[in-house]
Amino acid sequence: MNESGGLGLWAATPEASEFATVYGAHFLVDAKERGQAIPQDVLARMNDWLTQFAGTPAGTLEAARMRAYAIYLLARQGIRPAAAISNVEQELTNRYPKAWQTDLAAAYLAATYRMMQKTADSDRMIRQVPWSVTKRDFADEVYYDGTVHDAQLLYLLAKHFPGIVGAAPPPALEAMAASVSRNGASSLSAAYALIALDVFARATSASTTLSISEIGRDGRARALTLPAGSIPKVAIADTAAKVQYGRTGQVPAYFVLAESGFDRNPPTAELKQGVEISREFVDDKGNLLTRVNVGQEFFVRLRVRALNRDRQPQIAIVDVLPGGVEPVLELQPTADSSAPGNDPALRQEREANRRVSAQGSQPLMGRFGALPLGVAAKSDWVPQHLDVRDDRIILYGDALGNAGTFVYRVRANNAGTFQVPPPFAEGMYNRTIVALGKGATLEVIKP
């Protein structure tokens, strides 16, 4: 959070991320209503940011939707920025006379008017917002797609328009379920879907009873006890041959049967859907390596490129390290706390300067400062954020039409022959964007 109360995606920058801040405020408002203890001072600062943000001009439909979303969250807390509401609706009407009436922006404004007791306006407005199966005119946005649209529309209907929530057609709910079933849900759309289904279930579950039984291979059925809650979850035995679901009542019911585990066989073919990725082990001169000595430092060279367009935003790249290799940090991690007079940020800066002086090279500078991994002289692509874990490196950033190269340093610390999983890239909010590179074999020998 920056001084103005806005949130950044990866760090507290003067220019806040509009969506991240509004979404974060929604999280806190919902948590507070559900009885969770939240930092009230944090929400108060975010409300100041929301109030100022809601009154600024919007240059696009997406920007106007964000302002309508902010106004809705303020209204949920009894804060009524009347001038901002009027300005946003007028701006939408003048710039997007047809498009905005079917956009989620109209649903946010309708819910706001409902809380302000302007029933006629709110009912008229909300009834014009269609489900994604009939809307379909979605622009190419990172945080807004059919699943997000339907989930938020269902959430607003169930929470503020219980009288017409029954108008939610089964195809709309089935479209959300299909997105999950085909592995199309992101963390964002899944979160929106969960709160939508929870509120919908609370609003409609009074006359509905659910049941579940597992049927063994001998044909005998065993009823399972569902826990209390609007979305009950129960484990199914490995020995079950079939699962039978039951429902009493008129409200449609849905089920999800999920299993998890590991692939029995590692992938052998490359995959390129909207983006491509490759990885090589190289020495200081760029020569390919398949064998290194214990204690030797060498480099991992990742290349990523967007396909069929100039830019693929918000890509996550996972590079699993061989078992006998560890990353070499170019910067020391920041301490969690500091004693009086011992600033960890200044200590990190001194460590970085010492390493730079000793090696005669510069650390890789990202948008939010120096990164813990990455060699600037060998890289021309810089991630927005980098997460160093015990067995893998995770990078976040935008893939561009021209191949970008990111090089980081590693050290061999254990002898053996290691199978290296392929590098993997995927859109954080668009799961149809996915790439899988080639696996490799690396031999680490004793010198």
Q: Which residues lie closer than 8 Å to 200 by C-beta, 6 or more apart?
A: 154, 155, 157, 158, 165, 168
The Cα–Cα gap between 134 and 173 comes to 13
Nearest to 108 by CA among 94, 91, 129, 87: 129
| Torsions phi, psi for 249 (to 5 deg) | 120, 175
Give dist(CA 376, CA 56) in Å, integer.
Answer: 39
| b/e per residue 349-387 (b: at least 16 CB within 10 A) | eeebeeeeeeeeeebbebeeebbbbbbbebbebbbbbbe
Joined tokens for residue 20: 């991240």
Is residue 309 within 8 A of residue 275, CB to CB? The reply is: no
pTM: 0.82
The SS3 assignment for 400 reads: strand
Angle subtended at Cα 204 by Cα 203 and Cα 208, rounded to the nearest 5 degrees: 145
User: Buried (b) or exposed (e) across 120-150, using 16+ Cβ within 10 A?
Assistant: eebeebbeebbbbeebeeeeebebbbbbbbb
Q: Say if strands 291-293 and 440-445 run parallel, antiparallel, or are unpaired.
A: parallel
Nearest to 8 by CA among 37, 38, 49: 49
Q: What is the pLDDT along the chain (447 residues), one digit of tens a residue?
A: 999 999 998 888 888 999 999 999 999 999 999 999 999 999 999 999 999 999 999 989 999 999 999 999 999 999 988 888 889 999 999 999 989 999 999 999 999 999 999 999 899 999 999 998 888 788 889 999 999 999 999 999 999 998 887 666 677 788 888 887 888 889 999 999 999 988 888 877 667 788 999 999 999 999 999 998 777 899 999 889 999 999 888 777 788 888 888 777 777 889 999 999 999 999 999 999 999 999 999 999 999 999 999 999 999 999 999 988 999 988 655 544 445 444 444 444 455 445 444 444 555 665 555 788 999 999 999 999 999 998 899 999 999 999 999 999 999 999 999 999 999 999 999 989 999 999 999 999 998
Count of C-beta atoms within a 10 Å radius of residue 229: 11
Rg (CA), the chain: 26
